[in-house]
């Protein structure tokens, strides 16, 4: 599993990948809290990517358009 944290860093106009090194969902959630409180990042979200599972591209929730 890959835990990818997306969000906006302070003064950034667009969302970007902020962190990819967490080894568990719990650790990723702690990092998200730290990014928000210590660095002022906003609009944080966690993407969980299972590289062993084929994505269902017919699911509109997977598309970021």
* Boundaries of every domain in the chain: 2-54
Low-confidence ranges of the chain (pLDDT < 50): none
Question: How confident is the model at residue 56, as a pLDDT?
Answer: 72
Question: How confident is the model at residue 54, as a pLDDT?
Answer: 80
The number of CA neighbours under 13 Å toward the Cβ of 14 is 2
- The set of residues, in sequence order, having a beta carbon less than 8 Å from that of 48 and lying 6+ positions away, is 1, 2, 3, 4, 25
pTM over 0.85: no
């Amino acid at each position: 599993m890959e835990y990818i944290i997306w969000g906006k860093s302070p003064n950034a106009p667009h969302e970007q990948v902020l962190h990819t090194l967490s080894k568990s969902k719990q650790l990723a959630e702690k990092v998200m809290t730290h990014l928000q409180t210590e660095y002022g990042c906003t609009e944080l979200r966690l993407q969980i990517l299972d590289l062993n599972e084929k994505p269902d591209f017919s699911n509109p929730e997977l598309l970021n358009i």
